[in-house]
Amino acid sequence: MAIKTLIIEDEIPAQRLLKETLQEIEIETEVVGCLSSNQAAIKWLRNNKHPEVILLDIQLSDGKSFEIFKHIQVESMILFTTAYDEYTLQAFKVNSLDYLLKPIEKEELQAALEKYLQYNKQFIQQKNASIDYNEMASIIQNKHNDYRKRFLIQSNESFFFLPMEQIALFYSSHGVTFAVTFEKREYPINHSLESLKDQLDPSCYFKINRQVVVNIEAIKRVHYYFNGKLKLETEPTHHMDIVVGKDKAAIFKRWLDR
């Protein structure tokens, strides 16, 4: 049977992208509604049977979505989504909940729903137990900023550490990830771009696509590109075009405008 899913997200393009991504994954889902505010969510949840899963943006048009849990005893599994991480991501693990960091990729959504299926029986058995969302919100809103401070760079004869503030961007080529400094020096590091996602401060770094993560300080200008895409002008310059896809353009501009 399809997993009944409610999307609570204040940006219409992001709602549309989530629906399209749900259709692309192997797990069958049924979207029962798309809402954009706390008030709309509270009203909907008061008048409808709660779905199995709620994809819930943290920043909604009328405030943080934790307001919902002050008014409603939510019976659904929550998968939080966020365009930029102002919070401690580890806190989203409370009570088997998970988070999805925008822009959400198909593989990440697939893995999150697989996790839901694995824990479904346990969740049903424990659904009468009280989930303290106020405590969870308090934990999340206490920033620890436990992000990576440096990388250890090794060569055949020596090693040194490379501070994060010196790194302009990361890129992946032929299975190897490179850190590029503002002085345009390149160093291979023993991490994939995907594994770096939770290690980098999201207020400073944005994953442009599967090949590039860029430091906001390296972005000098953003140019409109064809078909709704954006092209970055960076310093230092890079040997490949750094292009933001149409599906990430709105989220990227929101990240720049913080």
Extents of the domains making up the chain: 3-141, 150-256
Percentage, residues of the chain above pLDDT 90: 46
d(CA 39, CA 62): 8
* pLDDT for residue 93: 39
Instruction: Give the total residue count for the chain.
Output: 258
* pLDDT for residue 18: 92
The mean pLDDT value of the chain amounts to 84
Q: What is the per-residue pLDDT across 203-238, written as a single tens digit (0 to 9) for each?
A: 899 999 889 999 999 999 999 998 889 999 999 999
pTM: 0.55
Residue identified by tokens 């953003």 is 222
Q: Which of 69-78, 94-103, 166-175, 197-206 has the lowest mean pLDDT?
A: 94-103
d(CA 163, CA 161): 6
Q: 104 and 57 in contact (C-beta within 8 Å)? A: no
∠ CA 139-142-147, rounded to 5° = 105
DSSP letter string, 57-77: ESEETTEEGGGHHHH----SE
Q: Which CATH superfamily is domain 150-256 in?
A: LytTr DNA-binding domain (2.40.50.1020)
Residues 6+ apart with CB under 8 A from 13: 247, 250
CA torsion sign for 119, 124, 125, 127 is: positive
Q: What is the per-residue pLDDT across 86-127, written as a single tens digit (0 to 9) for each?
A: 544 433 433 345 777 777 888 888 888 888 887 765 545 454
The fold adopted by the segment(s) 3-141 is: Rossmann fold (3.40.50)
